[in-house]
Amino acid sequence: MMDLLEGAPIQLQAWFLGLLRSFGTPEWILAVLSALIIIGTIIGVFLVLFALTSVLERKILARAQNRYGPNRVGPFGLFQPVADGIKMITKEDLVPRTADKVVHFLAPVVMLIPALLVLAILPYGRGMVPAEMDSGILFFFAVGAGTEVAVFMAGWASNNKYSVLGAMRAIAQMISYELPLVISAIITAMVAGSLSPSAIVAAQGGFAFGFVPQWFVLTPWGFTAGLVFYIAALAEANRSPFDLPEGESELVAGHLTEYSGFKYATFFMAEYIGMFAICGMFVTLFLGGWQAPVPALTIIPSWCWFLGKICFVAFTMVWVRATLPRLRIDHMLAFAWKFLLPMGFAAFLSAACWHYAGRGPAAWILSLAIIGIPYLLLGNSFTNRFAVSRRTYQFSE
């Protein structure tokens, strides 16, 4: 039964293509269809995830603040995305008179394309990679950087100072956080010895002592790199506490100020799909991809594990959003360059030492020390620098 489910997506596709072949459909149409089925399934799954997240995120945030959250449309408010969608589609699509109309129109499209493209290289399950690439990680970050262009297109084309300021902040943030993101991803590629996502997942397979999973996140360097990757991913996906490109208290809505109707919805869709993509990357690189955490649970299909882990990581992102306030721009950039990047390098060094010290207990202690010392030093210098002191007045009183 479970074996059947494990291969179900692939078997279904093969069965459908076989059915068409029996009708005498030409081979080239079958090849195109086979690709289209995969694309359609992935986009469909992620759109459903997006719709679900848009309502569940609001519910979780509400619960964190002891509120009910949306509960009016449908059972438990689960049809809220439908209502939101209808509202977004029927709203007027405003374009400012002085806007660069072509670029203004293209920006949401350009935003969505990289978000969808990077979904191609994620290993969704055992032998379920839509596009098997030797340098999949490189592809992910190279294409993912395209969203920065879209954000700036949106800001510039709107011809509005809030939009441009928001876009400039977004660029500063995304470029700063790209570095720790890529450094921490490189560490896993270095240990696994490959840039292919499937190879990295395979390197995390098996169980130590028969029950401890060998995910990278369970090693000192992997935990640090994972944390750096996670924080940088929050910034890349414009998630709170790094959501200042659209900080409504300062910038109206940043680069989204002049967008309304379905273009606005497209931006949001791209942002959420991008978030899921980067969650998928985090799962692939650090949380063992589609591997089950306990040997007994390997009977559950691998693609279920992958989707479940993505949802878990997305949930933690909402949790962080419910907890932390938005950072100030200079604090945020200082954090990226003066803390995350050095910690990324420390994890890099630690991973290398861990590998060459034989991956045994001695390697653990060495790698812990290499990470722990800079963490304590950097962390304390950071908290001291931004420590809130009592405000003193020189001339009043």
Q: What residue ranges bind other proteins (CB under 8 A)?
A: 60, 63-68, 71, 319-320, 322-324, 375-376, 378-380, 382-383
Q: Least distance in Å: CB of 63 to other proteins?
A: 5
Closest CA to 200 of 100, 133, 142: 133
Least Å distance, CB 183 to other proteins, is 19
Work out how close the CB of 60 gets to other proteins at its nearest, in angstroms, rounded to a whole number. Answer: 7
For the chain, the straight-line distance linking the first and the last C-alpha, in angstroms and rounded, comes to 78
- How far is C-alpha 385 from the geometric centre of its chain's CA atoms? 30
* Nearer to other proteins among residue 324 and residue 365 (C-beta): 324
CA distance 120 to 132: 8
Nearest approach in angstroms of CB 376 to other proteins is 7
Q: Which is nearer to other proteins, 297 or 376 (CB)?
A: 376
Measured from the CB atom, the residue of 82 and 324 that comes closer to other proteins is 324
Closest CA to 306 of 136, 119, 141: 119
Nearer to other proteins among residue 105 and residue 345 (C-beta): 345
Q: Which helix (H) or strand (E) holds 207?
A: strand 207-208
Smallest separation, CB 51 to other proteins (Å): 21
Q: Which amino acid is at 95?
A: V
Whole-angstrom distance, CA of residue 33 vs CA of residue 45: 18
Contact partners, residue 224, CB within 8 Å, separation at least 6 = 343, 346, 347, 350, 371, 375
* Nearest-approach distance from CB 236 to other proteins, in angstroms: 19
Spatial separation of the C-alpha atoms in residues 25 and 6, rounded to whole Å: 28
User: Which CB sits closer to other proteins, 11 or 380?
Assistant: 380
Answer whether the bond into residue 213 is a cis peptide, omega within 30°.
Answer: no
Residue 63 or 161 having the CB closest to other proteins = 63
